[in-house]
Every structure is written in C-alpha cells, then in structure tokens.
C-alpha cells in the first residue's frame, strides 16, 4: 500500500507521568511507523480534565508529555505535534458529534464502564469522552489510528459517529480505520490489571533507576506458579520468548531474582531515552507546540468549515 498521502493520528493524555504501558502500547508503535505517513500527534489535555483538576500539575504534565515524545524519538519536523486545547475546532466538533449519538450508545463504552467500576467519578466529560475523541480523529481526515486491541472500540465509535453524521448531512467526514499492530496489546500493570495511571499500578517510563526498581518489586506474583505471569509479560516487551523461556526456566521459582533481571533490562532499555530527555528545554517544547498548533489548524479549519456548512451554521 502506498502510504505517502495517508494520514496517521495518535495522542496521549497529560494526566501524569508516562509509564511503559503508554510507551509500548501507543508511543513506540507510533515512532516505528509515523515517518511513512502524514502524521499528527496530539497532547490530549482536554481529555485529561476527566482526571486532573490541578492547574499547576496539568501545565507541568503538558510540557512533560511533549518532552517524552521527543525523547522517545519523534522528530517534530516529520510530523505535527500539537496541543488539543490550542485548537478549539476539537470542542466544537465534539459537541456536534454528541448531538448525533444516543445515551444508550455511549453507555456501552468499555472504557467508561471500566473506569466507573474502578472508582473513577462518572462525570459528564468522562461519559462524552468518545465523541470528543472522535472529533480529534475526523478533524484531520485521519486514515489510520495506531492502537492496541483494547482501543479498538474507540475507533469503532468514531466510525459510527462519522457515519451517522454523513448519513444525515452527506459525505463530509472521513471514517478512519484502526491500525492494530502486531505485538501491541494490553501491557499489564504491577497488579495484573491493564497498566494505567488511574489504577496506580504503573512502571514509570522516565523514572529513576530506583523508582523503576521499586515499581517492579511491587508486581503481584502467584506463589502457586513456577513462572510469575505478570513479570514475564512485562519482560516479554524487551526480550524474545525463546530468550525468556530459557531465562525463566533457569530461575524457576526464584521470583526475586527474576524481578532483578527485569529491573536491569528495563533500566538498560530506558537509559538512552532518559539522557535525550534531559537535553530538551522548556523553550524547545513551547516552539514545538506553537508550530504544531498552526499546522494542525490548517487542516482542521477546513474540515470544520465543511461541517458548519453541512449543518447550516456557516
């Protein structure tokens, strides 16, 4: 397939320090593929309001997530890095798409039900989250959204909303496809659930070696098993199954030793990114976001103009 003129979009919430689940689940797949497309990468700060209501923390997180992207290898000259809140087209189209779908439809969202079940406040913003996310995607006439299998429903929701709009007003919005990459799935957290800042079960991506060690030591293990399942699953992000099977057979039943080996491999893997991140200044981040907002609006303004014309408020 010729991908030269195809668009790719992804994003991460600045809701806290990134963890290895963010990296292997979203950031690395993007880094590995973005140069093959016309690529957009979004700092989803409006989405972060569903979990972060401290302005100082949010400001810091926004800059930090841009640093993380750059440290992970994203070149801002080869893609558009922008902040969601710098472009009001997102919230306007999000509202329009909310008017296209029903409450029962939104109630079926797996992410919403899962977060509420785990004690997250069921705010209206969290409930309507899928339609703002749909707006994020269709504003840029996105062809593909790289995601893990657990994110497939988000893209399906986007297609549903765009399709319903198009049936009502004509073919205005492009319906995107998910790009489910091989080997990308749910990264387990230290408690065995999906690694998530909401669950406080993460291993920090840019933490100190000591912080990584502390997180790994807290991984839940089953004393009835010879192989600690969650330790092995995280380790498999770094080594092949053949390497790990041999290593874990040699250390069968020695959970502490296996965790130490995981700590060593994680810190070796993360150190080059830590060093790159230290070189990125606040001014570097501000300039990247300024340039990105301008480039993002050049695309989204056209989409929203067509939407406004279609619904009769141009």
Q: What is the DSSP letter of 9?
A: E
Instruction: For residues 130 and 108, give the distance between their C-alpha atoms in angstroms, rounded to a whole number.
Output: 11
Token pair, residue 176, equals 């995107």
Taking CA atoms, 287 is separated from 66, 77, 254, 293, 301, in Å, by 11, 12, 49, 10, 21
Which residues belong to the active site?
Answer: 115, 194, 197
Q: Which two tokens stand for residue 139?
A: 């504003």
**Alpha-carbon gap, residue 147 to 288, rounded angstroms:** 24
Q: Is 20 helix (H, G, I), strand (E, B) or coil?
A: helix
DSSP-derived letter for residue 204 is: B
**3-class secondary-structure state, position 182:** coil
Compute the distance between CA of residue 39 and CA of residue 170 in angstroms, rounded to an integer. Answer: 26
Phi, psi dihedral angles at 209 (to 5 degrees): -55, -35
DSSP state, residue 34 = G
């Amino acid at each position: 397939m010729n991908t030269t003129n195809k668009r790719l979009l992804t994003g991460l919430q600045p809701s806290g320090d990134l963890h290895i689940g963010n990296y292997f689940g979203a950031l690395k797949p993007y880094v590995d593929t973005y140069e093959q497309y016309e690529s957009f990468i979004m700092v989803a700060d409006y989405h972060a309001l569903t979990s972060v209501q401290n302005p100082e923390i949010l400001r810091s997180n926004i800059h930090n997530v841009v640093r993380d992207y750059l440290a992970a290898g994203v070149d801002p000259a080869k893609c558009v890095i922008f902040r969601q809140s710098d472009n009001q087209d997102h919230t306007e189209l999000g509202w329009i798409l909310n008017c296209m779908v029903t409450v029962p439809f939104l109630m079926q969202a797996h992410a919403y039900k899962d977060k509420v079940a785990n004690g997250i406040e069921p705010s209206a913003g969290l409930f309507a989250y899928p339609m703002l996310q749909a707006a994020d995607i269709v504003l840029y006439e996105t062809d593909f959204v790289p995601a893990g299998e657990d994110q497939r429903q988000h893209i399906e929701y986007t297609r549903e909303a765009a399709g319903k709009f198009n049936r009502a007003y004509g073919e205005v919005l492009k319906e995107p496809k998910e790009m489910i990459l091989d080997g990308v799935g749910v990264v387990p957290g230290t408690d065995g659930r999906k690694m998530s800042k909401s669950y406080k079960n993460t291993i920090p991506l840019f933490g100190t070696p000591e912080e990584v060690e502390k997180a790994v030591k807290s991984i839940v293990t089953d004393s009835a098993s010879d192989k600690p399942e969650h330790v092995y699953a995280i380790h498999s992000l770094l080594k092949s199954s053949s390497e790990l099977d041999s290593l874990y057979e040699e250390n069968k039943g020695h959970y502490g030793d296996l965790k130490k080996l995981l700590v060593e491999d994680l810190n070796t893997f993360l150190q080059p990114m830590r060093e790159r991140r230290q070189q990125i200044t606040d001014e570097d981040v501000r300039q990247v976001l300024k340039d990105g907002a301008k480039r993002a609006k050049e695309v989204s303004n056209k989409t929203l103009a067509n939407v406004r014309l279609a619904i009769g408020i141009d």
